[in-house]
Copies of this chain bind each other. A is one copy, B any other.
Amino acid sequence: MKISSKSKYGTRAVLEIALNQNSKLLTRKQISRNQEIPSSYLVNILISLKAKGIIRTIRGPHGGYELAREPVDITVFDIVEVLDGPFELSANLNDEKNFSKSSTSVSMGVWTRVEKAQGDVLKGITINDLVQETRNLYSPDFSI
């Protein structure tokens, strides 16, 4: 799997929405401006995130985007899988055809292990974690 800028944009967009979840809906324009993501590219990303049930929308005037689940229930893996997925381990199978050859099946095991490690890291980070980290950076705890 690859983590393209689409996933990076997507993660920042969801984080942006999460950071404002108590105030109001965010419009695409606001997300685009605050996170410096091309607005017409952001369209595609938001649509995908909605389709996967990560964000929710309200149309019409005063509409916008909000989270569909609690930040603690959204992992970065969820976002990356939508935007750069599918993250299935079997993806490698199509890649290296002749896996009857033992050297091929052995090397395949390497890529499988790498993907698993990636996935584990991404599954271990929730949007809530990122919100907390961001708040800590913004107003750090200056306890001596």
Contact B118 A114 (CB under 8 A): yes
Main secondary structure of the interface of A (DSSP, over half): helix
Picked from B8, B118, B130, B138, the residue with its CB within 8 Å of the CB of A118 is B118
Q: Which residues of B contact A76 (CB under 8 A)?
A: 110
Copies of the chain in the assembly:
2
- The minimal Cβ–Cβ distance linking A10 to chain B, given in whole angstroms, is 10
- The minimal Cβ–Cβ distance linking A131 to chain B, given in whole angstroms, is 9
Q: Which residues of B contact A114 (CB under 8 A)?
A: 3, 118, 121-122
Residue A89 lies at the interface, judged by CB distance under 8 Å to chain B: no
A102 vs B138: C-alpha distance when bound (angstroms):
7
A136 vs B102: C-alpha distance when bound (angstroms):
9
Q: Which residues of B contact A19 (CB under 8 A)?
A: 103
Looking at A2, A133, A138, the one whose CB has the most chain B CB atoms below 10 A away is: A133
Q: Which residues of B contact A144 (CB under 8 A)?
A: none
Interface residues of A (CB under 8 A from B): 2-3, 5, 8, 11-12, 15-16, 19, 35-36, 76, 95-98, 102-107, 109-111, 113-114, 117-118, 120-122, 125, 130, 133-134, 137-138
